[in-house]
Amino acid sequence: MQRLLVVRHEEAHPARSGDDAIRTLTSRGRQRMHKLARSLVEHLTTLDHIWTSPLVRAVQTAEILQSAFDIHTPVSADPMILQPSTAVDLRKLVETSGTAAIIGHEPTVSTFTSHLTHKHSVSPAFQTGQAVLLRLDGTSYTVEGVFRGSDTIAI
């Protein structure tokens, strides 16, 4: 059974000098992601690979998950994750990775999750630091759990 964790990065500092790409996680965002990572380890005992947007806040989010799951392979940063129109390509990317996580931004994570679950939209949109655990059933994914911080929103 293939599982996929789709995560929106945690809370980041506002953009300074207009460069959105270098925004870092806030202290609160880091703390909340550590809580989420611990919760996710309880529900998803293994994670084979992490794909992330190359933006700093997403990479930092990925590194926290990498540490929590004790993954020794490098996180893969891919600029394709930044584009909401790449849902089909993203699916090809993650389906070659065993149990994987993908960390990105809105609206990409909602669009991608909608594509995988064959729903027109994920409502409401992902909040910062929210994760959706998906399970591959045949040709489409079903939602196995929704997580935010140390809370399980739905299973």
Q: Greater confidence, 88 or 142?
A: 142
**What is the pLDDT, as a whole number, of residue 96?**
65
Average pLDDT for residues 88-107, to the nearest whole number? 79
Q: Say what the pTM is.
A: 0.90
**pLDDT exceeds cutoff 60 at 121:** no
What DSSP string runs through 7-48?
EE---BPPPSTT-GGG--B-HHHHHHHHHHHHHHHHH-----
Any idea where the domains of the chain sit in the sequence?
Answer: 3-154
Return the minimum-mean-pLDDT range out of 18-22, 66-70, 77-81, 123-127.
123-127
Q: What stretch of H or E contains 49?
A: strand 49-52
Q: Which CATH class is domain 3-154?
A: alpha beta
Return the minimum-mean-pLDDT range out of 3-12, 79-88, 108-117.
79-88
Average pLDDT for residues 112-121, to the nearest whole number? 77
CB 146 within 8 A of CB 130: yes
Between CA 145 and CA 51 the distance in angstroms is 19
